[in-house]
Amino acid sequence: MIPELGHFALILALCLSLVLAIMPMTGSLANIPRWVAMAKPAAWGQFFFTAIAFACLVNAFLSNDFSVAYVANHGNSLLPTVYKVSAVWGAHEGSLLLWALILSGWTIAVATLTSNLPAVMLARVLSVMGMISIGFMSFLLFTSNPFERVFPVPLEGGDLNPLLQDFGLAIHPPMLYMGYVGLSVAFSFAIAALIGGKLDATWARWSRPWTTVAWVFLTIGITLGSWWAYYELGWGGWWFWDPVENASFMPWLVATALIHSLAVTEKRGAFKRWTVLLSLMAFSLSLLGTFLVRSGVLTSVHSFAADPARGLFILIFLLIVIGGSLTLYAWRAPDVTSGGRFSTLSRETLLLGNNLLLVVITAFILLGTLAPLFYDAMGWGKISVGFPWFNTMFVIFTPLMVVLMGLGPMARWKHQAPAELLRTYRMALLASLAAGILVALPLLHDGSPWAGLAVFLSVWLVSSLLLSLRQRYRNRASIGKLLKNPAARGNGSYFGMVIAHLGVAVFIIGVTFVSLFEEEQDVRMSPGQSIDMAGYTFRFDGVRSVQGPNYRADQGTIVVTRAGKQEAQLTPEKRTYTVQTKPMTEAGINAGLMRDIYVSLGEGLGGGDWSLRLYYKPFVRWIWLGGLLIALGGLLAALDRRYRIGVRRYASTTAPASRKSLAPGA
């Protein structure tokens, strides 16, 4: 009964999506205010019914309703409650329903939090989001119905894949989806602006906080995924350049370019067409990712069960959404007037340069991901483009970006005299070079030049931030102002930038140092035996059997000491789950800011002996620390009060709220 209710709710949600997509948009074009006013109610209705559908599916899992095929495949009565809930989005159909729910959630967020946006513009934005909803709802209802029944009803469910029975992985998809779907807001704003023909700084100001928040979620989602892979997969890897990972990284890169481009459009009225194009591209890449994961076109450890029929549906959807938006762009963009001019050396150029670098990186990641498919389609044989290629390319291009990132904060808008820039950065450059060379020298064995490069780049970034901070707070008055009112307009954006860029520096150190200086040993150990590695002593204390809620495990005990003092007692496990019996490893990790000690259990070799993998991973946590800092920076920027105050004052005075009324395009 309840699954049918859910199914019916979904149908109603689709109907409301149709209303939302058609009527407000038509009303805005044909000047019918009553139709324009339907946007908000339709959005609410769509959300209401999607939420009901989602609740019904959750209920099916919680009540172990194995008559529903999806629950029968992925649920289980022994599953802990929290994983019964996360199992809802653990496979194709349910994850699509989550997508639809999050999409309708963002739609009502836009409907309610932008009450000062002109009704016509809001109506168009909501309509575009409604159109996207139509796509996902129809995909659900026509090809991937999560509420399908199965008969005869099995007595027990197939269980959620043990790898997914983990908190980190439970929230990773929702975070990612919040990001992808959030990018549809920027997309919708861009479409609405193209239709209306008004692509000015106001549009950028509206779009910016939404885009930043979406980007923050995406950052968290990707960071979570990487961290999860590290502790769950048993050999300490944290990024594989797998097609599905790339499919999440590409929208992130373009979204990063977008938030910076929006800054320029908002401030200087420049880059308008480029910003619009980026807005369209970011969400398009999100959709492309959906296609790649669910169509079976690429091999990936992450993909859902491949179904070319579903793939075709998504491809048609892509053609309509992306093709349509790019056609609109081709038609309307030429009429967009250009904004402020700027010299060859200026902050605008540096930002544009970095934008282009980000897009080039995105492009070659796409190239590498799709190359095997391309070669196969052209009949040129089968090739593999794997981790080593991606790494090489990424490591070559990223330093270029970081150098520009360092110059950005201190460069002037509109025109920067090269001599002045050189003067400003002289000490920073020297310090960075010195630090880099210092690190590269003493450890003159394999790989240390890379460490030197990483240190150079990080110190370069940090010194640029210090320069900027010193410039902004060069006298006591400015410091006083900051302390008196930390939440003043502009502070959020500024400190957001500082923290996010700091996060990048931390990330670079983490990635480089762990890759260069990690140590690993594959050993066979008997109980009581000790092995030394990286200054630590690992003593193996044997393996015993333990029982979990829905699994049985062999649990090893390894005591780690350093210079006689105990550092950690690790208990790596090898679990066999009751239903899906493929053995799974839980690594034993002693986490620290400067290093991780990581042990994973291999095979029992008889006589109490086991094979083990021992790892020493320096600076590995800096990778995710960097990611979190980046996300935090974005959050600070998005919460900047100027978006809220400025908005209200704009509505009441109809004059730009910005102080920079003299700057063109404000």
Half-sphere exposure of 352 (CA within 13 A, CB side): 18
Neighbours of 450 (CB within 10 A): 16
Q: Which stretch binds other proteins (CB under 8 A): 192-200, 221-229, 455-463, 502-510?
A: 221-229
Contacts of 303 (CB under 8 A, 6+ apart): 243, 244, 292, 293, 294, 296
What does the alpha-carbon distance between residue 439 and residue 193 come to, in Å, rounded to a whole number?
Answer: 50
What does the alpha-carbon distance between residue 152 and residue 154 come to, in Å, rounded to a whole number?
Answer: 6
How do beta strands 573-577 and 551-562 pair?
Answer: antiparallel
Considering the complex, state which of residue 455 and residue 632 has its C-beta at the smaller distance from other proteins. 632
Report in angstroms the alpha-carbon separations of 325 from 322, 413, 653.
5, 31, 33
Q: Which stretch binds other proteins (CB under 8 A): 105-113, 447-455, 583-591, 622-630?
A: 583-591
Is residue 494 involved in binding other proteins (CB under 8 A)? Answer: yes
Is residue 319 involved in binding other proteins (CB under 8 A)? Answer: yes
Considering the complex, state which of residue 426 and residue 582 has its C-beta at the smaller distance from other proteins. 582
Among 129, 176, 199, 216, binds other proteins (CB under 8 A): 176
Going by C-alpha positions, the residue among 93, 97, 111 that lies closest to residue 20 is 111
520-549 binders of other proteins (CB under 8 A): 522, 524
380-419 binders of other proteins (CB under 8 A): 380-389, 393, 396-397, 409-415
Asked whether the beta carbons of 577 and 162 are under 8 A apart, the reply is yes
549-578 binders of other proteins (CB under 8 A): 574
The pattern of x and - marking residues 135 through 164 that bind other proteins according to CB under 8 A reads --------------------------x-xx
Contacts of 549 (CB under 8 A, 6+ apart): 78, 80
Q: Which stretch binds other proteins (CB under 8 A): 185-193, 293-301, 433-441, 621-629?
A: 293-301
Is residue 342 involved in binding other proteins (CB under 8 A)? Answer: yes
Considering the complex, state which of residue 7 and residue 273 has its C-beta at the smaller distance from other proteins. 273
Among 184, 207, 265, 286, binds other proteins (CB under 8 A): 286
- Chain centre distance of CA 463: 27
What does the alpha-carbon distance between residue 10 and residue 3 come to, in Å, rounded to a whole number?
Answer: 11
Among 77, 112, 115, 338, binds other proteins (CB under 8 A): 338
User: CB of residue 208 vs other proteins: minimum separation in angstroms?
Assistant: 11
Q: Across-strand partners of 525?
A: 610
Among 13, 195, 352, 509, binds other proteins (CB under 8 A): 352
Among 25, 553, 584, 629, binds other proteins (CB under 8 A): 584
Q: How big is the CA angle at 238 (ends 237 and 243), to the nearest 5 degrees?
A: 105
User: CB of residue 552 vs other proteins: minimum separation in angstroms?
Assistant: 15
35-94 binders of other proteins (CB under 8 A): 89-92
Q: DSSP string covering 446-492, please? A: TTHHHHHHHHHHHHHHHHHHHHHHHHHT-SHHHHHHHHH-TT-TTHH
User: CB of residue 39 vs other proteins: minimum separation in angstroms?
Assistant: 26
Among 21, 600, 618, 647, binds other proteins (CB under 8 A): 600
User: CB of residue 71 vs other proteins: minimum separation in angstroms?
Assistant: 16
Residue type, 649: R
Q: What is the largest CA-CA distance in the chain?
A: 83
239-268 binders of other proteins (CB under 8 A): 240, 242-244, 247-248, 263, 267
**Cα torsion at 429, 435, 440, 441 (round to 10°)?**
110
At 337, is the secondary structure helix, strand, or coil? coil
Contacts of 374 (CB under 8 A, 6+ apart): none
Half-sphere exposure of 183 (CA within 13 A, CB side): 35
Considering the complex, state which of residue 31 and residue 661 has its C-beta at the smaller distance from other proteins. 661
Count the residues of the shown chain that bind other proteins, applying the rule CB under 8 A: 142
User: CB of residue 600 vs other proteins: minimum separation in angstroms?
Assistant: 8
Is residue 603 involved in binding other proteins (CB under 8 A)? Answer: yes
Considering the complex, state which of residue 522 and residue 532 has its C-beta at the smaller distance from other proteins. 522
Is residue 169 involved in binding other proteins (CB under 8 A)? Answer: yes
What does the alpha-carbon distance between residue 422 and residue 428 come to, in Å, rounded to a whole number?
Answer: 10
User: CB of residue 151 vs other proteins: minimum separation in angstroms?
Assistant: 22
User: CB of residue 376 vs other proteins: minimum separation in angstroms?
Assistant: 5
Q: Which stretch binds other proteins (CB under 8 A): 28-36, 46-54, 182-190, 226-234?
A: 226-234
Asked whether the beta carbons of 620 and 589 are under 8 A apart, the reply is no
528-548 as b/e: b if 16+ CB within 10 A: eeebebbebbbbbebbeeeeb
Considering the complex, state which of residue 410 and residue 440 has its C-beta at the smaller distance from other proteins. 410
Q: Which stretch binds other proteins (CB under 8 A): 44-52, 61-69, 77-85, 235-243?
A: 235-243
Residue whose token pair is 């190359």: 371
User: CB of residue 36 vs other proteins: minimum separation in angstroms?
Assistant: 29
Q: Which stretch binds other proteins (CB under 8 A): 196-204, 282-290, 480-488, 535-543?
A: 282-290
User: CB of residue 494 vs other proteins: minimum separation in angstroms?
Assistant: 6
Is residue 315 involved in binding other proteins (CB under 8 A)? Answer: yes
Among 334, 442, 535, 606, binds other proteins (CB under 8 A): 334
